[in-house]
Structure 1
Amino acid sequence: MKNRLYILFFLLSIGQAFGQTTFTISGYGKKLQEGDTLYLSYVEKGNHILESTIAVNQRFSFTGVVKHPTKANIYRNENPEVVGFITESVSVYLEPGDVKITSPDTLTGAEISGTPLNDTLQLLHSQLATVWKRMKSIKDPDLFDETEKKDTALLQHNKRELDKAYYEGADVQLAFANQYPNSYVSLDILHELSRINTYIFKVEKVYNKLAESLKNTEKGKIISERIKKKSQVMAGMKAIDFSMENKDGRIIRLSEFEGKYVLLDFWASWSGPCREEHANLINAYQHYRDRGFTILSVSIDTDKNKWKEAIEKDGITWTQVSDLKGHKGDVYLKYGITSIPANFLIDPDGVVIAKDLKGEFLNRELEKLFLTK
């Protein structure tokens, strides 16, 4: 991709004076087929907007109106409201001017240009290119055929490699945001990465450098609130005691488990990442339960039947509780949960010693704790 010798920053002050303005997108894909459907997806005033158009002579276009810089995605032949797995897309910013999308393929490898924010975004994409290439070389387990799914070693290997590449990409984005604190692109980076429990304090360091105009946006305030919530319960603090009903209606207290190492786990039946992590939790529980370790899971479900069905289907045998209040649950709010899965490792004295341990990170921490036991 072409190296850029300069980068045009888009300050929010410009965005606030932006008004209701027309954007246009002009796209070209060398391998686009006649009749390919292109979908433009974005959120405006809390409403999801989905538009579509048909490729003609390897070209397509969109026109619309937005009131502020808005990140959008374009998909080829995959309606994001219908399909469960997206294989091809390109991100753009909707802002005044003519956004150019040029691909040597269909949408794959597209370069975006034409407006200040999209020039900035293209620079970020260039920095992410190596990571993206590696990710595309790893077959996603969601696309495994039935034979591949039976190969548990391959499945776990690919998951680990995809996770590793994902977090490498997250680090690249953080470094970019740190380098360009006046860019709306950086605000969007931090807004997305602040959803990741283990990244919230890395996000905080970069967020503190953002331009005040960006901090005062709706997204800026959301990032700030997520940081604040994640600081409510930290390692070294006494775990907040609570009581809640288990699936059979019996009241369970967190303090009942003092004297053991407890993984306080927050999850929901509808969360794919939570359900995927259950296999790892089952292994940890079976390996260490006779050595002073247990798990207490708090579900943020609102449907008791779906909660109980998930427990049964996933083969969970440790204690499960829920107030069936979802994101409005008292314990959920007190522990400052912003996304799931989330967890807190609590020592026998009821003190939090670690948080948000998943996969190999949990296994390593437990191995270290029980090495001499």
Structure 2
Amino acid sequence: MINAKQAAYTLLLAGVFCSTNFTADAQKKDFTLTGHITGLPDGELYLAYGTMKTMKADTAVTKNGDFVFKGKVSEPSYAMLFNKTYTVKIDLYVDATAPVIIEANIDSLYDAKVQGSPVVNEYAKYNQAQNDTRKPVQVIYEQWMKAYNDKDSVSVEKYKSQFNRARNEQSDMSRKMQLDFIQEHPNHPGAAWELMHYLDGKTLEKSKGLFGNLSKSVQASEQGKEVSARIATLSRIAVGQMAPNFQQLTTESAPVTLASYKGKYVLLEFWASWCGPCRAESPNLLKEYKHYKDKGFDVLAVSLDDKKDKWVEAIQKDGMPWTQVSDLKGWKNEVAGLYGINAVPANFLIDPTGKIVARDLRGEELGKALAKIFPM
């Protein structure tokens, strides 16, 4: 699955260069970021910064590993330094109260040193701790890829198993560290940024409490306001709530409403042709659809595509027979916004009355849920 934080990066990289929804420059203060990455080829680096909804990006030309960015922020803001191939990706905070300085080596970017104001330094300490959990996973991945290239099938299986286990352990550690940072730094603006990524349908109730424990200034920050708005959205589409109705068009421009599915169980599936995990789930969804479609089960898929030919091609290639709709606005799909979607795949199981009874059912979980609804 492309999780919330990965989706955030996808959103950022897909739309950051055309973002115009940001606070007027007159209300902002200047910040400066200077850096040196030893071994970095001459070229371009990008700095994306802001909140989830106000993200913008600047470009800097690098020479002998040196680079400088200058911009404006109304408050300390999350930022990501990256290049076109993403071989460089450094998470940090920028702040107008003091210059930000980055020192790194292209061969050990996990150990990049970021210094600046206390806000910048505290987030850098947290990010370094997160990176430390990723290093062992990266080492195993490199061993796995070497074995693959050497056509060493025995080692491939060994490292693949080790990688999956290490990645799961790392994910659990990362999640705990994220939660600890939110709880232990109520006055840090980064707590709102991390909460935005911790927050989903399964953590909604806990996230409400976490948000309530943030300082008033962090709650009132631009990122804090976005967290508050997302909590309101997720509360509206939580399990037990009535699914908001909508209308969108099929590939043949025929209007379809969610209300037209009342009287049967419907899985409202959010996906996209470019989403690998979504496509990988298609065979399982097709199996369950064929098994239960004559018993009162249906699927309504909403695509986050923005190119019709890619959307149609994926439908045909994967052999998906259920109704497909989209407004071809990509991540700005209006139904996705209505349902608070910031990661795909995502889905909602809706009962015959129109009530949401479950969400994010995939693989065996979907089969088990449907088996309880439609016993043999």
TM norm structure 1: 0.71
Residue of structure 2 equivalent to 1:33: 39
How has the CA–CA distance of structure 1 residues 244 and 129 changed in structure 2, closer, same or farther, with 3 Å as cutoff? Answer: closer
Distance in 1, matches of 2:335 and 2:114, equals: 45
Does the 8 A contact of 2:300 with 2:322 survive in 1? yes
Task: Give the CA deviation at 1:356.
Answer: 2.8
Distance in 1, matches of 2:163 and 2:196, equals: 27
Distance in 2, matches of 1:233 and 1:337, equals: 11
Residue of structure 1 equivalent to 2:291: 290
Letter in 2 for 1:123: K
Distance in 2, matches of 1:88 and 1:185, equals: 21
1:188 to 193, 209, 225: 193
Distance in 2, matches of 1:24 and 1:252, equals: 49
Distance in 2, matches of 1:309 and 1:158, equals: 33
Letter in 1 for 2:48: Y
How has the CA–CA distance of structure 1 residues 356 and 202 changed in structure 2, closer, same or farther, with 3 Å as cutoff? Answer: farther
Distance in 1, matches of 2:340 and 2:62, equals: 43
After TM superposition, list the pairs within 5 Å mapping 1:356-371 onto structure 2: 356-357=360-361, 359-360=362-363, 363-370=364-371
TM norm structure 2: 0.70
Distance in 1, matches of 2:118 and 2:269, equals: 43
How has the CA–CA distance of structure 1 residues 284 and 165 changed in structure 2, closer, same or farther, with 3 Å as cutoff? Answer: farther
Residue of structure 1 equivalent to 2:18: none
How has the CA–CA distance of structure 1 residues 325 and 41 changed in structure 2, closer, same or farther, with 3 Å as cutoff? Answer: closer
How has the CA–CA distance of structure 1 residues 368 and 154 changed in structure 2, closer, same or farther, with 3 Å as cutoff? Answer: farther
2:62 to 44, 47, 53: 53
Task: Give the CA deviation at 1:199.
Answer: 4.7
Which ranges of structure 2 fall in alignment gaps of 5 or more residues? 1-26
How has the CA–CA distance of structure 1 residues 240 and 159 changed in structure 2, closer, same or farther, with 3 Å as cutoff? Answer: farther
Task: Give the CA deviation at 1:73.
Answer: 3.1
Residue of structure 1 equivalent to 2:29: 20
How has the CA–CA distance of structure 1 residues 306 and 52 changed in structure 2, closer, same or farther, with 3 Å as cutoff? Answer: same
Residue of structure 1 equivalent to 2:180: 175
Q: Which has the higher helix share?
A: 2
Percent sequence identity is 27
After TM superposition, list the pairs within 5 Å mapping 1:112-261 onto structure 2: 112-137=114-139, 139=141, 162=167, 165-166=170-171, 168-194=173-199, 198-241=202-245, 244-249=248-253, 252=256, 254=258, 257=261, 260-261=264-265
2:324 to 317, 320, 325: 320
1:342 to 315, 340, 346: 346
Letter in 2 for 1:33: G
How has the CA–CA distance of structure 1 residues 24 and 240 changed in structure 2, closer, same or farther, with 3 Å as cutoff? Answer: closer
Equivalenced residue count is 332
Task: Give the CA deviation at 1:344.
Answer: 0.4
Deviates more, 1:169-178 or 1:238-247: 238-247
Which ranges of structure 1 fall in alignment gaps of 5 or more residues? 1-17
Letter in 1 for 2:325: V
Distance in 1, matches of 2:158 and 2:251, equals: 34
Residue of structure 1 equivalent to 2:80: 73
Letter in 2 for 1:49: D
Distance in 2, matches of 1:290 and 1:205, equals: 41
Task: Give the CA deviation at 1:166.
Answer: 4.1
Distance in 2, matches of 1:342 and 1:177, equals: 25
Task: Give the CA deviation at 1:182.
Answer: 0.3
Does the 8 A contact of 1:344 with 1:354 survive in 2? yes
Letter in 1 for 2:68: F
How has the CA–CA distance of structure 1 residues 309 and 283 changed in structure 2, closer, same or farther, with 3 Å as cutoff? Answer: same
Letter in 2 for 1:267: W
Letter in 2 for 1:322: S
Distance in 2, matches of 1:61 and 1:334, equals: 41
Distance in 1, matches of 2:284 and 2:338, equals: 29
Residue of structure 1 equivalent to 2:70: 64
Does the 8 A contact of 1:230 with 1:338 survive in 2? no
How has the CA–CA distance of structure 1 residues 307 and 117 changed in structure 2, closer, same or farther, with 3 Å as cutoff? Answer: same
Task: Give the CA deviation at 1:299.
Answer: 2.6
How has the CA–CA distance of structure 1 residues 26 and 242 changed in structure 2, closer, same or farther, with 3 Å as cutoff? Answer: closer
RMSD: 4.1
Deviations 1:124-180 (A, max 9, x none): 12432443124424549xx898999xx999989967975774464234212211111
Distance in 1, matches of 2:28 and 2:252, equals: 56
